[in-house]
Amino acid sequence: MTQAEFLHIVTPFKDKVFRLAKRLLVSTEEAEDATQEVLIKLWKNKGKIQGYNNVEAFSMTMTKNYCYDKLKSKQAQNLKIVHSNYEDKQTGLQKQVELHDSMNWVEKIIEGLPEQQRLIIQLRDIEAYDFDEIGKMLDMKPTAIRVALSRARKTIREQLTNTHNYGIK
């Protein structure tokens, strides 16, 4: 397997590996190290990669196991949990239920949007693509994307506000 073939296989999911490592290890530096270690292990076993049904799933499992091992090891004693906004406050059960309910409502509202607006919301607000990339994907001008995004956000905001203010009708 050449380096180009390896990169073609690994590039689509390397950011997901990093995000999982960051969630488990908290520290950005530790997550970068974990990602690098997983990719090195994949490179060392590049001959076996073709034998895996799902390389992405295998990599995520490797990442999870590596992070758990890292947390269990003596090195974990020296890890710093870096939270700039950390306070020892538990979110109340009522607040958790309200947040979960709000997220469910937002999902339902997005599902009710026209397909184009739904796609634009997904690509811009969830996947964080810029307007030019979305324009290429959907064959639209950035101005039209901004208009559709603004309308979608307005619809979501209005329906969510109505739900919270007046209840379900």
- Which CATH number is associated with domain 105-166? 1.10.10.10
117: CB partners within 8 A, 6+ apart: 148, 149, 151, 152, 155
Q: How far apart are CA 42 and CA 37, in angstroms?
A: 9
pLDDT score for 139: 87
Per-residue pLDDT of the chain (169 residues; tens, 9 = 90+): 788 888 888 888 888 889 888 888 888 888 899 999 999 998 998 888 878 888 888 888 888 889 888 888 755 566 555 555 555 566 778 888 888 888 888 888 988 999 889 888 888 888 888 898 888 888 899 999 999 999 999 999 998 888 877 765 4
Instruction: Delimit the domains of the chain by residue range.
Output: 3-78, 105-166
CATH class of the domain whose range is 3-78: mainly alpha
Rounded to the nearest 10°, the torsion over CA 54, 57, 58, 64 is 180
Enter the pTM of the model: 0.45
